[in-house]
Every structure is written in structure tokens, then in C-alpha cells.
Amino acid sequence: MAGATLKDVAREANVSIASASRAINGLDNVAEAVKVRVLEAAARLRYVPHGGARSLVTSRTNTIGVLLPDIYGEFFAEIIRGVDVAARARGLHLLVSGSHGNPDEAVRAMRAMGGRVDGLLVMSPFVESHDLAAILPLSLPVVTIASRIGSGQGSISVDNFGGGVTAVKHLLEQGCKRLAHISGPSHNFEAEERKRGFLSAVRQPSPVVFEGDFTEESGYRGAKAFLASGPLPDGIFVANDMMAVGCLLALSEAGVKVPQDVALVGFDDIPIARFTSPPLTTLRVGIFDLGRRGLELLVAALDEGGMQEHEGLVVTPELVLRDSSRHKTG
Amino acid sequence: MAGATLKDVAREANVSIASASRAINGLDNVAEAVKVRVLEAAARLRYVPHGGARSLVTSRTNTIGVLLPDIYGEFFAEIIRGVDVAARARGLHLLVSGSHGNPDEAVRAMRAMGGRVDGLLVMSPFVESHDLAAILPLSLPVVTIASRIGSGQGSISVDNFGGGVTAVKHLLEQGCKRLAHISGPSHNFEAEERKRGFLSAVRQPSPVVFEGDFTEESGYRGAKAFLASGPLPDGIFVANDMMAVGCLLALSEAGVKVPQDVALVGFDDIPIARFTSPPLTTLRVGIFDLGRRGLELLVAALDEGGMQEHEGLVVTPELVLRDSSRHKTG
DNA sequence: CTGAAAGCGCTTACAG
DNA sequence: CTGAAAGCGCTTACAG
């Protein structure tokens, strides 16, 4: 009832607990007969090794902590999936903590994970370098994904600025003259970078920017705002696909044709993007790969003993051309 | 460098490790002065308690294992979010393992988690009761979410059959005469239940059923198939919203009007559902709540010592009425 | 190939 | 309020 221990298995198999341990762990310095007897005993007793005891003596938890922000939906899921697949391939467990709405919560979560993981994968727009430094044991490798801080043993980030520039250039090439932007929330680092890219590439005196919050609804409101005020833009760069979907709906309700009247470029290439009407031109970041490569970077750091500095990896978003931006008014 | 231990903290604070332990854990049988000194020493040394050692002696890991199938997207993310929020409120950690494409993998993952968690939250269409029984220590409480097995210390499931019935009844009330169904993959338990509900409620000799796989693309193909063969149905129950989105696109490309020509009902109420054109009538299951309540059920089982049997909780999907089904040909 | 023993870092009666 | 000591379940030199 209370869970069999290695001692129980050893007794049942008539061997020492040292031999039992070796058999369970598949070491080769065990007689075949002993191995068989131990494994059978273990199965009979439903023996499950106590991970804590093991990690106490090996000083390895084989667990990676994953700290996520309070982002919902596809993006979140894809990152985890990438991390998860890569972790399983290496026999690593994942201790996940998500939904941190503010820096304090995130820091508390990191603290709580500290003693149970070999390394940390942090994806949080909140956590600052000095928070990390204050809270973690010196020896815990940290890799950040798409976060503000670039410290730790490595980082993977997305060139959001470059993505914004690419979007604008593309719209200009399509012949758009009056560009507008629906941005993400201003406290979000990635959102700010995309906006900065937009502003730096746009060739207009004072381009219209509507601040959304990455939800479909705010995209809807953004388009409504454009429709209500002044001349309608003929090209909109929307900071994520979710908002672009809301934007499409508002435009379609207003009888505005996409891309004939207004060309649209989103960001993320969420699965739904190719199924909107018209399909959405967008900037794709391999989200799954972001997670996968983040974990790989962390594992590399662990293998090296943890203290090497790695350069930040920067992933460039790729323009995925679909009908929502085939403008060509010219 | 190698991480400070409680012994280091005790030495630094000039107290016994017993007192240090008490101070760190906030017990009240410690002199205020000692408490302060210990906490300061801990901060100075960046002390982080070793979770394994702690769980070894308390026989509590304060960690819940979460086993997920290889479902992507919203659903997955929302479940985790619900579980995560509820877990954090109780100071519990989450050990997550996802993307299990087959029973063996799922069972292996459960085994691996066994010795590191206080209980298991299983969401998998694959795992059977006898798998559980064979693999887990007798004492590990298990709660299943939306899974085939209803054993363990409790289960939360969705009345998928009832949802299918509700969808059909609604379509019939709208005046639809020729119903069709786009189903999920046949190896999926939930998909089968929805189809069974559809078939049992539909009043037609041999209703058309297209087997999809829960992706937008298969919904698209399903609609194409209906368009290509025989008389077009005037009402379609699509087994999830993702496929319904693909379905909408195919219909719109073919110039078929929704809901005038064909009424549509989806399943899930994913965020995008209210932003399709027309907005999608669908069956909503509070996915977040499914996760939250699953964790709560598990915690209750833990508190009771783990061995109580609980009844299965069944959540009834709720019809969310939107324009895609306002048919009224009559 | 095998076993006795030390020790990983912690908590918790127990005695004071 | 405090400390010395036992022990949680495991792995790993070490000696045989």
C-alpha cells in the first residue's frame, strides 16, 4: 500500500539492495539470473523508484523547469510541444509553471522550481536579469526563449523588429500607400519590437497605430477604429494572427474587400491563418522549433557543466505569402 | 558554485541545521532573531532547498503528474491552464508529459512519472484501466479527464454523446431535413461518442458521415466531399470547431451560403468560433474548468488518503447559438 | 558478479 | 526555543 521500496524488491528477490539497484538500472555487471529475478520481483510489487531519493544521490533530477507567461492559445501549446518532444527524446521530465501575470509571481515560481530541476527554460516578458541573479543558485543553467533578458547560458529570440520591417516592405511592394498598424499590448516586449519595426520601415509622416492586446476582439476593434476615422488605410500590418482574424471580420462586415481595398499582413502563422477568407499573409516563426531548440540549448549547457556562455540565437520570421496581401492597386 | 545546502546556511547563521530548517519553513518555534539570521544567510548564499531530499523525508512531492495525449492547439492549452491555475493556488507543481501517440508511450511516461508525483491527472484516449493497474504503485491516486477509463479515484468526462444529440435536435428544429456529419478520427473515443450521438438522434435512413481527423484541413475535405456527391445536406454537425472552420471555407469557396443553404454546428467553442463568418454555433465545454476541476478532484483524493472511490463527474456541453445555424427554411 | 556501508540533504520526534 | 541524531530511499566506490 505505502509503495514498495528497493529494499522490498531486494528481499523479494533474495539479493542485496545494491544488486537490486544495478538490475533495475540495467547495468551490465549483474548476473542474468539475478537481473531476471529482480525485475520480476519489481513487477510483482509494482515497484516504482523514488525520484527524490535518486536525485539526492546522483545530484541530477533529470527534470527541466519551464516557466511560461500568461499567454494562451496556440503559441503556448506549440512551444510546450516542441520542448516536450525534445525532452522526451532525452529522457527528461518537464516541470511546468505557467500563467504568470506579473514579475513577482514569475520570480516566486522560479524559486519554487529551483531545487527540483537541473535547468530552467524561461519564457517570460517580465523576468529581468537581476531577478534571475537574485533568486537562483549560481549553478542553475538558464536558457531564455523569446524573452527580454538575454543572459543565462543562452537565449533564443525572435527578430520581431525584422519581422515588422519585412511586413511593411512587402505591403509597400504591393503598392500600398497608407499603412496602419494594429499593435500588441505596450507592456509586451515582442509587441513593442514589431511596432518599432513597422515604424522604422514605413515611409509616412504619422502612420496610424491602434493598440490592441493580441486578442481577436481587439483586432476587431482596431479595424472599426480605422473605419471610423479618416481615410481608410490600404495596408495593415497586424501584430498577430489572432487580431488579424478579428480585423478581417470587421472589414468584411463593413463591406471592405481584402486585399483589393485593404491588404493585410499578420504575424505567427497560426494554423487557422490559411483557413480564413481570404487566407492570411503572415510572418511565420517555427514555434515548435523555438521550444525544441531552447531545450537543446539548455541540454548543451548542462552537458558542459553549465557555466559556458552561449551566444543568443536569433530566429528570423519568414514571410508566408497568401491572398490577404495580394494588393497590386498599381 | 555547487549550490548551498541547509548545512551551509546553518553554519553561516551560527545555528543548528534543525533550527535553520525550522526558520526556512516558517515554523513558529524559532526565536525571531534566529529566524532573521537564517533567512539572511539563506539569501546571501542563494540557498534553494533540495526538493528531492525534502520529499524523501516528508513522503510528499507536492507535485502532480499530468499526462496528455498528442492533441495540439487550444484544447490542450486550456486544460493545462485550468490545471495550472488550480495547482498554483495550492502550491503544487506540475510535471507534464504530452504528445503520446500510442498506448505504450503513454504507459512508459506514466511509469517514469510514478516516483516523482503525489498523484496523476490522466487525459488520454489510449490508456486502459488494466494498463494503469499494471504500472502504478497501488497508492498513487489517479483522476482521469475526458478519457476512456473511468477508474481511479475519480474522473471528469464530457457528455459527448449528449452533445451530438443536442446538435442534431437543434438542426432539426431549424428545419433541416438532410443532416450530415463530419466526424473525428475513429480511434478517438470522444469522436466516436459524438458520432454515436449524431446517429442516434438523426431521423434519416442513412445519414452521410465523413471521417475527418479534427484538423481544419479534414473539415475542408469533408465539405468538398459533400459538395461532390449527391444532394447537398442542409445541416452539418461537425465534430469540432477546427474542422468546422475548414468546412466553412470550402462552402464559401463553392458559393454555398451558411446558414441559408446549409446550417452548421461545431463543437468546442474555441476562441475563433465567434470570429468566423458567419460566427459558429457550437457546443461549449468549459475546457479550463475541466482542467481545474480535475485537479481539485485529485487534491480531494490526496487529502482523503487516496483510496476513496469517487463518482465520475460528467460535464454537459452547452449549445452556443450563433449565426451559422439560424436556418429556418420553413 | 556481489554485498556492506557511507552518504546525498533534508525533517522531525526526542530530550533538554 | 534549541540541537544531536535517526532515517527517508537510493547509488556508488570499495573490498572481495
- Asked if A61 and B52 come within 8 Å (Cβ–Cβ), the reply is yes
Each residue of A133-180: pLDDT tens digit? 666 666 788 888 877 665 556 888 889 999 999 999 999 999 999 999
d(CA A92, CA A113): 15
Whether the predicted pLDDT of A263 surpasses 50: yes
Interchain proximity A272–B115, CB inside 8 Å:
no
Burial tier of A223 (Cβ tally within 10 Å: 0-12, 13-18, 19+): buried
pLDDT given at position B330:
46
Cβ proximity of B272 and B301 under 8 Å? no
Contacts of A252-256 spanning 24+ positions with Cβ under 8 A? A252/A277, A252/B277, A254/A223, A254/A227, A256/A227, A256/A232
Instruction: Tell which A residues from 282 to 301 touch B, by Cβ distance under 8 Å.
Output: none
* Residues B46-63 pLDDT 10s: 899 999 999 999 999 999
CA–C1' span, B301 to D7, in Å? 28
Return the higher-pLDDT residue of A112 and B210: B210
Set out the domains of chain A in order of their start, with CATH numbers.
Answer: 6-49 (1.10.260.40), 62-159+287-316 (3.40.50.2300), 160-285+319-325 (3.40.50.2300)
pLDDT tens column, A199-251: 999 988 889 999 999 999 999 999 999 999 889 999 999 999 999 999 999 99
Residue A236: CB atoms within 10 Å: 32
Q: What is the pTM of this model?
A: 0.81
Using CB atoms within 10 A of its CB, is residue A279 exposed (0-12), middle (13-18) or buried (19+)?
A: middle
State which amino acid sits at residue B23.
Answer: A
Give the pLDDT confidence score for residue B109 in this predicted structure.
82
The per-residue pLDDT for A204 is: 87
Residue with cell 481527423: B213
Q: Is any atom of strand D within 7 angstroms of residue A56's beta carbon?
A: yes
Residue B126 is predicted with a pLDDT of 64
Residue B136, pLDDT score: 66
Residue B289, exposed/middle/buried by CB under 10 A (0-12, 13-18, 19+)?
Answer: middle
Instruction: Tell me the pLDDT of chain A averaged across its residues.
Output: 87
Taking 90 as the threshold, does the pLDDT of residue B315 lie above it?
Answer: no
**What is the mean pLDDT of the segment spanning B244-260?**
94
Q: How many residues does chain B have?
A: 330
Read off the DSSP letter of residue A325.
Answer: G
Q: Which nucleotide is nearest to B58 (CA to C1')?
A: C11
**DSSP bridge partners of B179:** B235
Nearest to B72 among A77, A135, A215 (CB): A77
Read off the pLDDT of each residue in A310-321 and give the average, rounded to a whole number: 86
Residues of B numbered 150-209 whose beta carbons fall under 8 angstroms of chain A's beta carbons: which are they? Answer: none
Q: What tens digit of pLDDT does each residue of B110-164 get?
A: 878 888 999 999 887 666 656 666 666 667 888 888 776 655 568 888 899 999 9
> In this structure, are strands B179-183 and B235-238 parallel, antiparallel, or unpaired?
parallel
Residues of A in contact with B77 (CB under 8 A): 72-74, 76-77
Q: Does B108 touch chain A (CB under 8 A)?
A: no
Contacts of B22 by beta carbon, 8 Å cutoff, 6+ apart:
B29, B30
Q: Does residue A321 register a pLDDT over 60?
A: yes
Residue of chain A with shortest Cα separation from B288 = A72
Q: Report percent pLDDT > 70 for chain B.
A: 88
Distance CA B259, CA B241 (A): 16
pLDDT digits (tens, 9 = 90+) for A47-72: 999 999 999 999 999 999 998 876 56
Statement: residue A15 has pLDDT above 60: yes
- pLDDT digit string, tens, across residues B303-314: 876 555 666 788
Mean of the pLDDT values across residues B272-281? 87
pLDDT at A276 over 90: no
Question: What is the reported pLDDT for A78?
Answer: 81
Percent above pLDDT 90 for chain A: 57
Least confident of A114-118, A127-131, B186-190, B212-216: A127-131
CA–CA separation, B147 and B188 (whole Å): 10
Residues A70, A67: Cα–Cα separation, whole Å: 10
pLDDT at A218: 96
Q: Determine the protein residue whose CA lies at the shortest distance from the C1' of D6.
A: B57
CB under 7 Å from any atom of strand C: which residues?
A 15-19, 22, 28-31, 33-34, 53, 56-57, 59, 115; B 2-3, 5-7, 17-18, 21-22, 24-25, 47, 49-50, 53-54, 56-58
**Cα–Cα distance for residue pair B147/B127, rounded to 1 Å:** 8
Q: Does B138 sit within 8 Å of A46, measured CB to CB?
A: yes
pLDDT surpasses 60 at A269: yes
* pLDDT for the residue numbered B1: 45
What per-residue confidence (pLDDT) applies to A307? Answer: 54
Determine whether the interchain pair A277/B111 forms a contact, defined as Cβ–Cβ distance below 8 Å.
Answer: no
What letter represents residue B196's amino acid? R
Helices (H), chain A: 6-13, 17-24, 32-45, 51-58, 74-89, 103-114, 129-135, 160-173, 189-201, 216-228, 241-253, 287-303
Give the model's pLDDT for residue A1: 45
